[in-house]
Amino acid sequence: MRYLLLFLALAATALSAAGASSSSSSSFSSSSAPAMPQVMLWSWQKIEDLRSVDAKNVGVAYLVGRFIVRGNEVVCQPRLSRLQLPGGCYREAVARVEVKALPTKEKSALVCAELAGKIAQLTLPNKISAVQIDFDARQNERQFYLQLLRDLRQDLPPDIALSTTALASWSQGDLWLKEAVDQSSNGVKIDNVVPMFFTMGIGRGKALRMLAEKLPVSFNNKLSIGLSLSEPAAISAIAPRLKQFNHIYLFCSPGWSSENLIKAGKLIDIKLTEEKKIGSF
């Protein structure tokens, strides 16, 4: 029990660091939050200090935890690494979902509702404007995913946006998610979808060729893309047309050091940092 309490305390400390800033008041509503900027930085399970980013033009989508479905069981692993952000920064809480085994047919709806509830419970205490789901759903997991999005939309306040990541193929040919979003009658309401053009496996070459020839499909009339500093070929393929995107998400697997922030800014030709760091914790 003592170790469990320590684990939860560490998770609360890490998440409160991500959800607070020296210039924020104790009260917060997304209606007073900044508009979503064009550039978003993904912050994963690393200790990171992003107080130097230009909060007027750069937002942060940070992992709050992993949610693992093992049959009829849902396990939550909260983020434990500390994250420091500047005051006034647009913040999006990211929930990573992994399905080791789908729930039984009889329990599927209950497990989905439980998963949505746990995601909302972990994300909403933070000072955020949006929640993003990162779930590389296999074909047999797609209906479960759509139900999760329906349930989560109901659990979130209407002024909190809901977004998802997407495999590159979901924006270039296998358009199942777009079809679901476009069919308003099915109740799937997503504000933003971010196709990720990195770690694409055996389809990488084809995806990059298609990306060089044609932009990925838009969702809800918004064009977004996810890129990684470790795969500059994808950035080069789309660089001349990056200004056409509403939102550009950037991932850096080693973590966001000052050098990597500068490198990323040069790759997309957008300055990401300010001269001085803002705030402290």
Where are the chain's structural domains? 2-20+37-268
Q: Residues 118, 150: contact at Cβ < 8 Å?
A: no
As a whole number of Å, the end-to-end CA separation of the chain is 29
pLDDT of the residue at 270: 93
185: left (phi over 0), alpha (psi -120 to 50) or beta: alpha
The enclosing H or E element of 9 equals helix 2-19
Q: Which residues, 6+ apart, have CB-to-CB distance to 126 below 8 Å?
A: 15, 16, 18, 19, 64, 91, 93
Q: Which two tokens stand for residue 13?
A: 């400390």
0.85 exceeded by pTM: yes
| Contact status, residue 102 vs residue 142, Cβ threshold 8 Å | no
Q: How far is CA 30 from CA 33, 100, 161, in A?
A: 5, 34, 9
**pLDDT (tens digit per residue) in 112-137:** 999 999 999 999 998 999 999 999 99
| Assigned CATH for 2-20+37-268 | 3.20.20
- Condensed to tens digits (0 to 9), the pLDDT of residues 163-186 reads 999 999 999 989 999 999 888 777
Pairing of strands 58-70, 73-78: antiparallel
Interatomic CA distance for residues 115 and 5, integer angstroms? 22
Give the pLDDT band (50/70/90) at residue 2. very low
34 confidence band (pLDDT: 50, 70, 90):
confident
Q: What are the residue ranges of helices labelled H in 156-196?
A: 176-182
Range with the poorest average pLDDT among 37-46, 57-66, 229-238: 229-238
